Amino acid sequence: MEYAREQGLWKRGVLWLLLLGPLFFASYGFANWFTGQREDVGSLVFAWEPQIPLWPWTIVPYWSIDLLYGLSFLLPACRREMDRHALRLLAAQVICVACFLLWPLRFTFERPPLDGTFGLMFDVLMGFDKPFNQAPSLHITLLVIIWAMFANHTRGPFWRGLLHGWMALIGISVLTTWQHHFIDLPTGLLAGFLCLWLLPLQGATPLKQIRLANDPRRWRLAMRYGLGATLCAVLAVKLGGTWLWLFWPAASLALVALNYLLFGAGGFQKQATGRLSPAATALLAPYLLGAWINSRLWTHRQPAPSQVVEGIDLGRLPATGDLDGYAAVVDLCAELPLRHTPQHYCSLPSLDLVAPDALTCQHAAEAIERLRHKGPVLVCCALGYSRSATAVAAWLLHSGRCQSVESAVALIRQARPQIVLGPQHLAALQGMLDAGAKLEVAHAG
């Protein structure tokens, strides 16, 4: 992403470093000291972990994250980017230290004495970094955030390849320096992507989008996804071992439940390009896989779009080859990405199984009317049966092709009999129609 670079940002970066630096050492040191006094500190080690080699030279990439931490404050091009980056690092500190205090774990391997420069670097490290703070690895959590910042400002295949190679080496080094057990890596990645999701560089933070749902349908869906998350978490705890990977779908389903309950469609962070943010993609990956499979199973008998009127087609979220012949796409799907988009693309993310409101219907109608002049338009959602059908009905009403909600729905049903429009969808369409009529009366007066 590109920003017009502001002048004098280095001063703001220095101020953030002066704040975050002491806070890092104070909070991390306190967590080390406090956990060291406890007698209930356990460990979580897989049977294969003793096979991980000790590579003393990897202390160099391990230490390098400290330098990259400071250099990362030279990269932001505007105040917003600088502040979001700093707040991400602060959030990482708060999340990880809280986990260290609530669920402490201990590193159990005994590292043999090491000589030379590498041995000296280990000695300096162990003077501060005790073996008590493990999952999630703060090293990995910070790596995700710093990696994202450098990736935003690194250009060219050589430099990007060098960047990704070195950052990956830093990630591996937490194991090959015998500083962390394996469980610390995926939990650190989870915490890092959570920080990126909470504080996106584009758009508002989800914390500003919190609105407690007043729709009973959203509450029921939130409950179902919450129960799924709970089930996965319980199985992970009870079965252990490889089953611990169920914490990933547990976190994914929990986030979906929160989107229905609090954050709305914005929690999926679908961007103007049709893709979800990298953080949302990583956090929601298990759910996204299930949602995509579900969409294809429901539509395997009717994969092709249906023409409602000439130039306006209604269908499921298209694959790359399905876009041939379309000049524009109006996308109502919040939860699934559209990997490839035509030149003219409009995303109006709406929650699955929830009727779009009257305002979304109005925006969809206006988008379809605007884009149909570019050429054939595909209006889509996950299945092409509900949200997108509502959008096409809204356009039929907005354009005057249909005079009532019933006639608009009947026309769409002729083209695509499988559409599912319940009372809430019809009410939203009627609300849009009534609002338009009131506006016309106001203008006439």
Give the C-alpha separation, 210 to 66, whole Å.
Answer: 35
Find the helix packing angle between 157-176 and 184-198, rounded to 10°: 130
Give the C-alpha separation, 133 to 138, whole Å.
Answer: 8
78 in active site: no
User: Three-class SS of residue 1?
Assistant: coil
φ and ψ at residue 270, rounded to 5 degrees: -75, 130
Length of the chain as a residue count: 445
Give the C-alpha separation, 31 to 138, whole Å.
Answer: 12
Give the C-alpha separation, 417 to 306, whole Å.
Answer: 10
Q: Which of 333, 380, 381, 402 is catalytic?
A: 381
User: Three-class SS of residue 200?
Assistant: coil
Contact 91, 198 (CB under 8 A): yes
Contact 131, 106 (CB under 8 A): yes
Nearest CA to 364 out of 422, 410, 408 is that of: 408
Contact 180, 137 (CB under 8 A): yes
Contact 405, 429 (CB under 8 A): yes
Query: 438 CB contacts (<8 Å, ≥6 apart)?
Result: none
Q: Among all residues, which ones are annotated catalytic?
A: 381
